[in-house]
Amino acid sequence: MKLYKKMLAEEYKDLNSVAMNYNKEYVQGNPTPNICFQNFFDVEFLNHVLEEFPDLESKNSEKMKSVNEFKFAGIADEFFGPKTTEFMNFLNSRTFLEFLQKLTGIEETLIGDPYFHGAGQHEIKKGGFLKVHADFNSHKTLKLDRRLNCLIYLNKNWKDEYGGEFELWDKKMEKCEKKIKPHFNTLAMFSTTDFSYHGHPDKLNCPDDMSRKSLALYYYSNGRPASEKNLISNKFQKDGTLFVQRKGDDKELGTINKKRSIKIILNKILPFIGKK
């Protein structure tokens, strides 16, 4: 048996078949192509990964505290233990990249990120949150186009009242189209553009001795299809995160990106100016 298969649950060891069987579900995902797998990885192996997960608040981690987010993120692979390193290397390997390529139907060759820019270990504690947003769309070092996000959740005995669901919102920010509970051994993935709005916007309500732990991996390509031309605005969002407001939530009035707001207004009025 190939070594990587020890990391996968029995049902998903044949990655080629999984990709073919679930391609349609992924492509037809709403509001952006997406899919979620439960118990995708071998439980014993993922237990080791969880055991290696540090308390990021007490480490020299990236501490994000603002009106838009309250979370902690490891810096690249600094806090990876041996099992986590093995796991993350597999998720950046040719085998897994080819699986993602077939599953998503993305035609441009997918490329992993050995720098784990913005990715890696993420942790949110009680009272923490991550407002709805769209991610940066270009890798600052590799200068590649961001195409796909993968999230692996590591939270055992997680109760609904704790919150922390991963949310996917529609392009108009009027409706949450999908919610994914951050239960242990859940794999979620979705295609990324400037309008793939997502987050966990409400404060976490877990016990003080628990936290919402996840691993994040982002995948890239050299160029995008012409069909995504209207879904990307590199000028305003090449390197930064765009936080957006949920409809009817006055508490989030301060989270709107002003440059994006100006661009939307200009796009509405310029066609009329041009006709004069």
Range of the domain at 152: 3-274
Residues of the chain with pLDDT under 50: 235-236, 253-276
What dihedral angle (degrees, nearest 10) is formed by the CA atoms of 127, 115, 148, 100?
A: -120
Tell me the C-alpha distance between 164 and 203, whole Å.
8
Q: How many domains does the chain have?
A: 1
Look at residue 237 in the predicted model and tell me its pLDDT.
Answer: 52
Look at residue 251 in the predicted model and tell me its pLDDT.
Answer: 61
Tell me the C-alpha distance between 154 and 182, whole Å.
7
Assign residue 166 the CATH number of its domain: 2.60.120.620
